[in-house]
Amino acid sequence: MSVSVLSTNQSVSVLSTNQSVSVLSTNLSVSVPSTNQSVSVLSTNQSVSILSTNLSVSVLSTNQSVSVLSTNQSVSVLSTNLFVSVVSTNQSVSVLSTNQSVSVLSTNLSVSVLSTNQSVPVLSNNQSVSVLSTNQSVSVLSYRSILQLVKPWHDEVKDYVFPYPRDCNPRCPLKCYGPMCTHYTQMVWATTNKVGCAIHTCHNMNVWGNVWKRTTFLVCNYSSKGNWIGEAPYKVGVPCSACPPSYGGSCSNNMCFPALNTNYLQWFK
């Protein structure tokens, strides 16, 4: 694996086998930043345990169309159902399916960052040219569930104001009344349809010049990328109106549900 990170204050290269990953403007932030990257994955040949899969997006709202994630993993993966509660209004969220190559990319990023013990710089602006978006979480707290690492991304909803069509003239403004809202918007970005996550733990990690002990680093990559400048994350519409035909048209509590049984869990312990 060869990872090149181009940013304002870091240049890291990690060597391994059978992989080439180029990351453009990777922005890692201790406060779970959103990073947009341009990535090329040529092959995968690694023995790193991957914690990934089945991010189930449960949207609690009044007027929305949401799909539950499907899983199709062909390699050994420590499978987890990350139950993400998205609280918002009038949203239509597309299907998210787990993608092994995206998961491998997430693992490569998390392992390369921790193995090189690099500093985590401050987040910069989103790059519209990238093909993947990344949410990253760094924590030194012990946790019972991966949900505790994902929850801060969702909690940004309290600071986010959705731009309705009347606000988009012609570009939609980003109204965020907190430090960051782009983790949340990527989680609910309507055109994103694939997700892959990985987690890694390092005994010592350099974060902003300080050494953190037993640091947990979670990375989730999304494709196609979200957080396009000037666009809204989703469209206003009738509940479940965007449910794909493969889901059988079933709608419960303003959410799309597939006709087939899944291994969906509401809580992972």
Q: Please check the confidence at residue 2 and state whether its pLDDT lies above 50.
A: no
Confidence label for 185 from pLDDT (cuts 50, 70 and 90): very high
Residue predicted with more confidence, 259 or 174: 174
- Average pLDDT on 12-31 reads 30
pTM: 0.52
Q: Where are the alpha helices (DSSP H) in 163-249?
A: 182-187
Region for 106 from its dihedrals, namely left if φ exceeds 0, alpha if ψ lies in -120 to 50, beta otherwise: alpha
Beta bridge partners of 4: 13, 22
Block residue for tokens 């040949």: 45
Alpha-carbon gap, residue 228 to 220, rounded angstroms: 17
- Average pLDDT on 147-170 reads 93
Peptide linkage before 179 cis (omega within 30 of 0): no
Q: Please check the confidence at residue 48 and state whether its pLDDT lies above 60.
A: no
pLDDT, position 215: 85
The domain segmentation of the chain, as residue ranges, is 24-40+48-257
| Residue 116, SS3 per DSSP | helix
Alpha-carbon gap, residue 251 to 13, rounded angstroms: 47
The correct answer on CATH 3.40.33.10 for the domain covering 24-40+48-257 is: yes
Q: Please check the confidence at residue 37 and state whether its pLDDT lies above 50.
A: no
Structure-token pair, residue 234: 């989703």
Cβ atoms of 32 and 153 within 8 Å: the answer is yes
The top-scoring range by mean pLDDT among 29-43, 83-97, 99-113, 146-160 is 146-160
Alpha-carbon gap, residue 33 to 113, rounded angstroms: 14
Burial of 155 (0-12, 13-18, 19+ CB in 10 A): middle
Q: Please check the confidence at residue 218 and state whether its pLDDT lies above 60.
A: yes
Q: Please check the confidence at residue 19 and state whether its pLDDT lies above 50.
A: no
| Helical (H) or strand (E) element with 102 | helix 100-116
- What rounded mean pLDDT belongs to the chain? 59
CB atoms within 10 A of CB 156: 20
